[in-house]
Chains A and B, each alone.
Chain A
C-alpha cells in the first residue's frame, strides 16, 4: 500500500513526458483524450493514496548517506494536495477549449501534467531534501508554461520567473546546509527538529538562517521584496496556466514556509524573535502594496496577479502570527484563495478567448454578453473581498481574530486594520468589472449585443470552482475542525 503514494507523482510525470516525446500526439483529439484521462486518473490516484497511505512514511532511496528521499502524507500535505488536484483538473479541462487559439498544445499539456505530478510530490514530501528536490524541478518545469506563447515579453517574463525562483531556492538551500548540522533530522516533525544542545550559543546564527529560508521560499509566494516576478510572469502565460500558477504554484512557496517554520525550526523557537517581527512587517507591507498596485492596474490579468501578491501574503501574515487561530485562517485561506483565484483567472481567460479584450475599461457590458461567467466572477469576487457567506469571509475572520488574540504589542491591531483596508481595495479593484459589466450605462448600444457565452468546457470548471468556494463558506466547520486539529499540534 505504501508505494501507492508514488503513483499520483509518477503517473502524470510519465504521461507528461510521453506527450512531449511522442509524435502521434500531434493529433488533437488523441492529445486531449490522453490529457483528460491522465488528469482524472491522477486525481483519483491522489485520492486513493491519501485514503490508503495516509500517515505512512516511504523511504525511497538515499541521495547520499545522509540525504534520504522520503515521502509521507501528513494532514498539512493532504490539504495542499486536495486543493492542487481540484484546481488542476478544473483548469485542465478549461484548457481544452482555451488552448485552441494558442499553438504548441502538445508542449503545453506535457508540461502541465509534469507540473501536476511535481506538485503532488511537494505535498507528499516527507523531508526538506525531498521538498527541495521537487521545488527546484517545479521551477524548471513550470517555466515553459510561462513562456508558452514565445513572444519576447513572455520569454523575458519566463527568465525572470526562473531566476527569481532559483534565487529563492538557493536561499532556502543555504538554510538547509545549516539545518543539516544543527537539526536532529531533516524530516518534517511537528514542533521542529532543532537540537537544543548544538543550538545553544548559536541562536542568532540560526535565527538569521531561518529568516533567509523564509525569505527564500517567500520568493515563490510573491512576498515583498521578491515579488516583482509575479506580476510579470503570471499574466503572460495562457489563462489556465496563469490560474494554476496563481492558485497552486505560489502555494508551493507557502507550503515551504509552513514546513520550515512549523516543522523544522518550530514555532516555539521563532516566536517573539526579531525574525517573527521582520517577517510580519514584510507580509503586511505586501498585503497593502499588492492591493494598491492591483487597484491601479488597468489590465485585468495583471490586476489579478497583483491581487495574488496581496492575498498570498494574507496567508503568510496568518502564519507569521503563530497563533492557532490565525494559522487555521491561513491554511483555510490557502484553499479559498486557490478556488477563487483560479476561477477569476479562468473568467479572465474566457473573456480574452471570446472577445480578445484584456483591459478592464474595455469590459463594459460584458455581463450582458456572457452573464453566467460574470455571475461566477462576481460571486468569487465577493469571496475574495471577504463578504459572508463565501469562504473568504471565514478564513479572513480567523486571520483577524487570531491576530487580535495573539496579544503581540502593536501588531495585534495593526494587522487586522491592514487586512481591512486591503479588503476595501480588493472590492475597489474587482467589482468595477461587475458593475460596468452588468450596468453598461444608458448609452450602451443593445442592438449590437451578441451572446458570447463560452461552451461548457469553459463554464463548467468555473462553475465548479465557484460552487466550491461558496460551499467552503457555507459549511466551514468540517474543514475548520480538521485544520484546527492538526494546527494546534504544531503551533
Chain B
C-alpha cells in the first residue's frame, strides 16, 4: 500500500496541474479551492507516508539489468520531501494573491503544481537513474515558469536556464554511467556503492568524474562558475523565485550533490583526496562570491538571488566536509535556509505587489507603511545573518563545528568564508531594513501615503515562516538530533 502511495504523491500534483487548464472553472475562487485542496491533500499524504515505518523500495519499471526506476524513502528523502511538502501549500496560497496582477494564471498554476510532483520524485528517488530522470524533468517543467511574463528578458533568462541546466545534467549523466560501471548497484547506500576491486588503479579517473558530476549537479545548486542563470531567472513571478529558486529547484541540486557524495561515491573513497579539496574550494569561493555580488546588486530580487547562491554553497560546503557531522550541517542549513529565504523572498514579492518598487533605494520609509512585511523581513534578515536565537545561527553552528571537528585546514578557512559571508549578509540585508525603518530626517512620505500591508493570503505564510524561524532557533534540539540520525544512517 505504502509503496503505491509513493507513486500517488508524485503523480497527484502532476495530474492536478494538467487538469487546471482543462477544467472549466466558473470563478477564480473555484480554481483556488481546487488547487489548494489538492496541494494540501498531497502534503498530508506525504507526511503520512513519511511518519510511517517502511523499508520497502518500490520498483516501477526495469529497463535492463540493474537500470530501474525505483522509489525508496530513507532519511534524506524524509528531510527533503518533508521540507518541500511543508512549504508548498503556503507558497500556493501566497501565489493566489500575487498572481492577481499577472496574466496566464492557469498556465502558471498548471506548471507550478506539476513541479511539486517532480520535486517529490527527486526526493523519493531510490537510485541514481530515477534521480536523474526527475532532475531532467524538473528543468523542463520549470522553464515555462521562468518564461512566464514572455518579455524578451524572460525568454532570454529561460533559455539560459535551460542551457545551463541541460548542460549540467549532461555532466551528471557521465557520473551516472561511471557509477553503473564501477559500482555494485546504482541504489543509494549511505557510504557509497563503488567497488574498489573494479576500480583498481583508476582512482584518479574516478575522482575526476566525481568532480565533473559534482559540477554538473552544481549547476542547479548554482555553484561558481555556473551560477549566472539564477539571478536572471528572477524575472519569473515571485512565487516561483521564492519556492523554486530558493528551495525546490536549487535544493534539488544540493540534494543531488549530497546523494552523489554520500550515497554513491562514498565519503571513504573521496575523503582526503584532491577531489575533496577542489570541491570544497569551489564551495568556499561561491560562498564569498555570492555575498559580494549581493552587496553590489540594487534590485531586491536579484540581491536575494545572489544571497541564495551564497547560502546554497553553505550546504555544498557542509557536503564537501564528507563527515556525518558535515552532512548534518548541510541538511540543517537546507531546511533552515529554506524557511528563511522563502520568507524574505515573499516579503520582496509583497513589496513588489503592493508598491511596484523593485530597487533597494526606493524602499525609504516603507517600514512604517507595511509594518508586518518589514518586521518579517527584518527577522528573516537577522536569521540569515545568524543572530543567535534564530534558525540561521543553529545551522551555521552545525556547519562550522563540523568543519572544526573535521580537522581539515581547508575547512578552517571555510569557517572564515562563512563568517565573511555572514558579515556581507548583514550588509546587504540590513541596508534594506535601515532604509525602510530609518528613512532620514528630511524624508517626505507623501508619495507613499496609500501603501498598505497585503491581504491575509500573503501575510499568513509570512507569519508562519517567521514563527518557524524563531522556533528552529530556540529549540532546534529535536530537528537537529533527527538530522544527526539521518546523517549517521539511522533511517
Nearest CB in chain A to that of B443: its residue:
A150
Q: Are A150 and B397 in contact (CB under 8 A)?
A: no
Once bound together, how far apart are the Cα atoms of A132 and B387, in whole Å? 9
**Listed residue (B400, B404, B427) with the most chain A CB atoms within 10 angstroms of its CB:** B404
Q: Are B476 and A167 in contact (CB under 8 A)?
A: no
- Sorting the interface of chain A by its residue count into under 10, 10 to 19, 20 to 34 or 35 or more gives 20 to 34
Q: Are B477 and A173 in contact (CB under 8 A)?
A: no
Specify which of B426, B430, B434, B476 is in contact with A63 (CB 8 Å cutoff): B476
Nearest CB in chain A to that of B378: its residue:
A140
Given contacts A137-B387, A166-B385, A155 and B426 within 8 Å (CB-CB): no
Task: Judge if B419 is at the interface, Cβ distance under 8 Å.
Answer: yes
Once bound together, how far apart are the Cα atoms of A222 and B371, in whole Å? 35
Task: Judge if B277 is at the interface, Cβ distance under 8 Å.
Answer: no
Taken residue by residue from 148 to 160, chain A's Cβ proximity to chain B (1 for < 8 Å, 0 otherwise) reads as 0111100100110
Given contacts A149-B441, A159-B431, A63 and B389 within 8 Å (CB-CB): yes
Taken residue by residue from 137 to 172, chain A's Cβ proximity to chain B (1 for < 8 Å, 0 otherwise) reads as 100100010010111100100110011001100110
Q: Are B426 and A162 in contact (CB under 8 A)?
A: yes
Taken residue by residue from 318 to 341, chain B's Cβ proximity to chain A (1 for < 8 Å, 0 otherwise) reads as 000000000000000000000000
Q: Are A144 and B397 in contact (CB under 8 A)?
A: no
Nearest CB in chain A to that of B389: its residue:
A133
Shortest CB–CB separation between residue B360 and chain A, in angstroms? 13
Q: Are A150 and B427 in contact (CB under 8 A)?
A: no
Q: Are A177 and B438 in contact (CB under 8 A)?
A: no
Task: Judge if B403 is at the interface, Cβ distance under 8 Å.
Answer: yes
Shortest CB–CB separation between residue B408 and chain A, in angstroms? 13
Shortest CB–CB separation between residue A192 and chain B, in angstroms? 19
Nearest CB in chain B to that of A143: its residue:
B434
Specify which of B393, B415, B423 is in contact with A166 (CB 8 Å cutoff): B423
Nearest CB in chain A to that of B476: its residue:
A64
Given contacts A140-B382, A171-B419, A180-B401, A166 and B426 within 8 Å (CB-CB): yes
Task: Judge if B195 is at the interface, Cβ distance under 8 Å.
Answer: no
Once bound together, how far apart are the Cα atoms of A137 and B415, in whole Å? 22
B441 contacts which chain A residues (CB < 8 A)? Answer: 149-151
Q: Are A163 and B404 in contact (CB under 8 A)?
A: no
Task: Judge if A67 is at the interface, Cβ distance under 8 Å.
Answer: yes
Task: Judge if B204 is at the interface, Cβ distance under 8 Å.
Answer: no
B438 contacts which chain A residues (CB < 8 A)? Answer: 144, 147, 150, 155, 158
Task: Judge if A178 is at the interface, Cβ distance under 8 Å.
Answer: yes
Task: Judge if B281 is at the interface, Cβ distance under 8 Å.
Answer: no
A63 contacts which chain B residues (CB < 8 A)? Answer: 388-389, 393-394, 473-476
Nearest CB in chain A to that of B409: its residue:
A205
Query: Between A and B, how many residue pairs show CB distances below 8 Å?
Result: 86
A132 contacts which chain B residues (CB < 8 A)? Answer: 388
B415 contacts which chain A residues (CB < 8 A)? Answer: 174, 177
Q: Are A170 and B404 in contact (CB under 8 A)?
A: no
Once bound together, how far apart are the Cα atoms of A177 and B400, in whole Å? 6
Q: Are B477 and A65 in contact (CB under 8 A)?
A: yes
Nearest CB in chain A to that of B441: its residue:
A150
Nearest CB in chain A to that of B439: its residue:
A150
Task: Judge if A455 is at the interface, Cβ distance under 8 Å.
Answer: no
Task: Judge if B268 is at the interface, Cβ distance under 8 Å.
Answer: no
Shortest CB–CB separation between residue B224 and chain A, in angstroms? 22
Nearest CB in chain A to that of B474: its residue:
A63
Once bound together, how far apart are the Cα atoms of A61 and B420, in whole Å? 29
Interface residues of B in 470-491 (CB under 8 A from A): 473-477, 480-481
Task: Judge if B37 is at the interface, Cβ distance under 8 Å.
Answer: no
Nearest CB in chain B to that of A67: its residue:
B397
Specify which of A61, A129, A147, A170 is in contact with B419 (CB 8 Å cutoff): A170
Specify which of A61, A65, A149 is in contact with B480 (CB 8 Å cutoff): A65
| Top 7 A-B pairs, shortest CB-CB distance | A133-B388, A150-B441, A170-B419, A177-B400, A166-B426, A150-B440, A181-B404
User: What is B's interface to A at a CB cutoff of 8 Å?
Assistant: 382, 385-389, 393-394, 397-398, 400-401, 403-405, 415-416, 419-420, 422-423, 426-427, 430-431, 434, 438-441, 443, 473-477, 480-481
7 contacts between A and B (CB under 8 A): A64-B477, A64-B480, A162-B430, A167-B423, A173-B419, A174-B419, A181-B404
